Amino acid sequence: MDQFVLTEAVARPYHSNMSVKPDRTEAVVLVTCPDRPGIVARVTSSLDQVGANILDASQHTDVEGSMFLQRLHVSWPDESPEPESVHDVLTELGEELDLSWRIRWGHAPRHVAIFVSKMDHCLHDLLLLRRDGELNCRIPLVISNHPDLEETANQFNIPFHHVPVDSSGDPEAESRQLALLEAHDIDLVVLARYMRVLSPDFINRYQDRIINIHHSFLPAFAGGRPYHQAHRKGVKLIGATAHYATPELDEGPIIEQGVIRVSHRDSVQDMVRKGRDIERTVLARAVRWHLEDRIVVHGNRAVVFD
């Protein structure tokens, strides 16, 4: 069974785009456990014990794996709870139901690092969304293996760090990158067309916290030059896939996908141009859902709650 790690439960609170009262404490609770009758009643009853009011709840049962997954958005409208008492109740419930849980409190934005190479469309879109308040996060730095996009970062007053990478998994480069991430207390890494493969050690340090955009409709055309592969195959649809990075290249849990039609008239460059629109929108949705705690990773699947 997948285990939730109770890191950043208080220090990195949950944010919702919903309108809220400033004096109301809010949290999102994510749970997963073996399926059995009565789970919903037990979870809601436990939260009621600590005065929580359920604003909305979504759930999913993986019938094949016999697993139950749930997302609850809760509040304490009258009096702020003691986080320790909430944790104690959930821990007791976890022992009773073999249940793993994660909670995020409040509204403080998370820290996001964006990795790029030379293409700017995904980077630019994320920075615009952040500037316009569409993504509740802070972006304290952009890291790139090329200097080309420094001006783009400067336009948004985001510090830009050029870290040359000799080859994928370059230990010296990754050491510098990890030091930057730790110095800025990064919660989420976004690979916005970063054209290098991270080492397993790097990925494992940020398990389920690295989102990559791959410019194909996975599992089709994994690896490099997917538009060239698609063109050779004469496909009629091309797409983009946002997924969590894992040590297995382009095999991580898929968060979101999108497609667009192409024809025999389209060159590779036509496909690249059309694909950029899909890449930016798919990546933005995946990042937003992660920031809103709408994703539960179960096995190699990402369950995304509305």
pLDDT digits (tens, 9 = 90+) for 6-40: 333 333 333 333 333 446 799 999 999 999 999 99
- Pairwise CA distance, residues 263 & 209, whole Å: 36
CATH topology of domain 110-304: Rossmann fold (3.40.50)
What's the confidence (pLDDT) of residue 261?
A: 94
- Pairwise CA distance, residues 96 & 99, whole Å: 8
pLDDT at residue 2 is higher than 50 = no
- Pairwise CA distance, residues 164 & 173, whole Å: 7
Phi, psi of 31 (to 5 degrees): -130, 155
CA angle, residues 190, 124, 154, in degrees to nearest 5: 100
Q: Is 78 a catalytic residue?
A: no
**Could you report the per-residue pLDDT of 101-115, keeping only the tens digit for each?**
999 998 789 999 999
Of the given ranges (36-45, 79-88, 133-142, 193-202), which has the lowest mean pLDDT?
79-88
Per-residue confidence band for 218, with pLDDT thresholds at 50, 70 and 90: confident
Q: Is the pTM of this model over 0.75?
A: yes
For residue 190, what are the CA distances in angstroms to 77, 132, 144, 169, 284? 34, 19, 12, 17, 10
Tokens encoding 135:
């993504």
- Pairwise CA distance, residues 243 & 286, whole Å: 8
- Pairwise CA distance, residues 191 & 214, whole Å: 9
What's the confidence (pLDDT) of residue 23?
A: 61
Q: Is 220 left (phi over 0), alpha (psi -120 to 50) or beta?
A: beta
Domain ranges of the chain: 25-105, 110-304
Q: Is 20 helix (H, G, I), strand (E, B) or coil?
A: coil
* Identified catalytic residue from 120, 125, 250, 293: 250
pLDDT at residue 122 is higher than 90 = yes
- Please, which residues have CB within 8 angstroms of residue 101's CB and are 6 or more apart in sequence? 4, 6, 29, 30, 31, 32, 90, 93, 94
| 111 closest CA partner among 4, 255, 13 | 13
The dihedral over CA atoms of 138, 144, 147, 149, expressed in degrees to the nearest 10, equals -50
| 283 closest CA partner among 246, 249, 254, 256 | 256
The dihedral over CA atoms of 98, 103, 139, 191, expressed in degrees to the nearest 10, equals 20
- 190 forms bridges with which residues in the sheet? 114, 211
Biggest distance spanned by C-alpha atoms of the chain? 63
| 119 closest CA partner among 99, 80, 149, 83 | 149
CA angle, residues 47, 50, 52, in degrees to nearest 5: 55
- 59 forms bridges with which residues in the sheet? 70
**Could you report the per-residue pLDDT of 157-171, keeping only the tens digit for each?**
999 999 999 888 899
- 289 forms bridges with which residues in the sheet? none
* Domain 25-105 CATH superfamily: ACT domain (3.30.70.260)
